[in-house]
Structure 1
C-alpha cells in the first residue's frame, strides 16, 4: 500500500534528525517514489514540507538535498537563542513549583539513560522537553512563543551533534546546574547558566561544522592525489 505524503514526510524527517541522511545528501524524487511505492506527487509534497521546516534545500535544476548549515548561521541562531532562553529561564525561577522541579529531575535522569545507549535522537527530544518545561513556568507567554518559533526554525542544526556525543554528556551536567539554580530560586544565576549553556552548544556546533569541512577537504585532496 502506497504511503501518503504525511507519512513520507515523517519518515524522511526522522532520518534527517537521526543523522541517517547527512547534510548534503541528495533526495531524488524518482528513487524515493520507488522506495515508498508511490507516485512522484506525494514525495514532492513531503519534500516541500521538509523545506518549510528548513531541513532540506530545493534548488532549480539541482533538486533537493539535506540542509547544510554555515558556521555564521549557527553562531547567529544560538546567540539569539541564548538571550531569549536565558531570559525565560531566569524569569521562571520565581514561579517554578516543586512538581515541575521533580519532573525536570526525572528528565535529566532519562537523558542519562538514553545517552548510555547513544540515542542522540531520544536525547534531543528529552532536551527540548526539559527546556520547554522550564519555560512553561515563565509568566511571559510572548517570550515563550518567540522561543518556540526560533527553536522550530533551527531544529535541523541538532543533526550535527551526532558528531560529538561527548558534548551531550556535558550538556546534561549543565542541565543539572540550571536545575540547582532554579531550586535555589536564583533567577540571575539560572539565566546566566542557561545563556552560557546555549552559547556552548552553538560553539560546539560550529566546531563540528568546521571539522566536517576540513575532513571533506582532506578527502578531496586524497582523491585528487590518487587519480592516475
Structure 2
C-alpha cells in the first residue's frame, strides 16, 4: 500500500479534519502492518508522507495511544503497540462473553427485514470472495459481524463493544492473513444467520462462539512458535 497525500489546507478550521485523516490513515496502516508492531512513529516522516504539518500527525498519534494502538514512551517517542498471543486470547475471551450474550438477545429482537439485510450482505461477501476481491469481502464480513453483535440494541453494551473495536479489528486482520480463513469465516456467518432466521438464541450463541474461537486460533497461529 502506498501512503497517499492529503489535500493541503491553510485555514485553522481544516486542522481537525487533517488530524482525523491522519488518524484514519495510521490506524489502517497499523491494522495492515504497513506500520509494523513495535515500529517507531516518526512525526517528520509521516507528516512528509501525508503532505501535512506535524501538528495533526502528533494529535493523531495521541488519539491512537488512547485506544491502545500506540505506546508513548517518554524521551523515546511513540511506538506501534506490539501484540502477543496472550493479548489475542484476552481480547477473544472478552469478546466471546460480550458478543455471545448480545447475539442471544438479538435473536429475539431482529426484525425480518434486518435478517434479510444480513443475508444480502452475506451474499455480497460471497460474491466478492468468488471474484477474488478478498479485501472487500473481508471488510464486508467485518461489517456483517458488527451487525450480529449490535443486534441486542443495548446502548451500554454497544458502547463497551466499541471500546474494543480497534483492538478487535487489528486482530481480525491477523485472521485474514491465514489462507482459507476468510472462506471458513463466511461459512460460519451463514450458520449464525440460519440460527437468527430461526429465532434460536441458543443456536446463534453456539454458532458465534464457534466462529470466534476459530478466529482466535487463526490469529494465534500468525505468531512464531517460540512466542507462545
TM-score norm. by structure 1 comes to: 0.81
List runs of 5+ in structure 1 lacking aligned partners.
215-228
Q: Name the structure with the higher helix share.
A: 1
The CA deviation at 1:162 is 4.1
Give yes or no for contact 2:72–2:78 (8 Å, CA) kept in 1: yes
Matched residue, 1:220: none
Decide which of 53, 59, 68 is 2:82's aligned counterpart. Answer: 68
The CA deviation at 1:54 is 2.0
Q: Distance in 1 between matches of 2:41 and 2:166?
A: 22
Q: Distance in 2 between matches of 1:108 and 1:182?
A: 13
Q: Distance in 1 between matches of 2:166 and 2:36?
A: 19
Cα displacement string for residues 129-155 of structure 1 (whole angstroms, at most 9, x for unaligned residues): 213323443254433333232234433
Q: 1:100 to 1:208 in 2, by over 3 A?
A: same
Give yes or no for contact 2:176–2:182 (8 Å, CA) kept in 1: no
The CA deviation at 1:15 is 2.2
Q: Secondary structure at the match of 1:64?
A: strand
Q: Figure out how many residues of one structure are paired with residues of the other and give that number.
A: 213
RMSD: 2.5
Q: 1:56 to 1:165 in 2, by over 3 A?
A: farther
Q: Secondary structure at the match of 2:210?
A: helix
- 1:94-105 to structure 2, matched below 5 A, reads 94-105=108-119
Q: 1:171 to 1:211 in 2, by over 3 A?
A: farther
Q: Which has the higher contact order (CA 8 A, sep 6+)?
A: 1
More deviation, 60-69/77-86: 60-69
Decide which of 178, 184, 187 is 1:170's aligned counterpart. Answer: 184
Q: 1:101 to 1:155 in 2, by over 3 A?
A: same
The CA deviation at 1:97 is 1.9
List runs of 5+ in structure 2 lacking aligned partners.
1-7, 10-14
1:113 counterpart = 2:127: yes
Give yes or no for contact 1:86–1:193 (8 Å, CA) kept in 2: no
- 1:192-207 to structure 2, matched below 5 A, reads 192-207=206-221
The CA deviation at 1:124 is 4.5
- 1:172-187 to structure 2, matched below 5 A, reads 172-187=186-201
- 1:1-228 to structure 2, matched below 5 A, reads 1=8, 4-115=18-129, 116-120=131-135, 122-138=136-152, 140-210=154-224
Give yes or no for contact 1:89–1:187 (8 Å, CA) kept in 2: yes
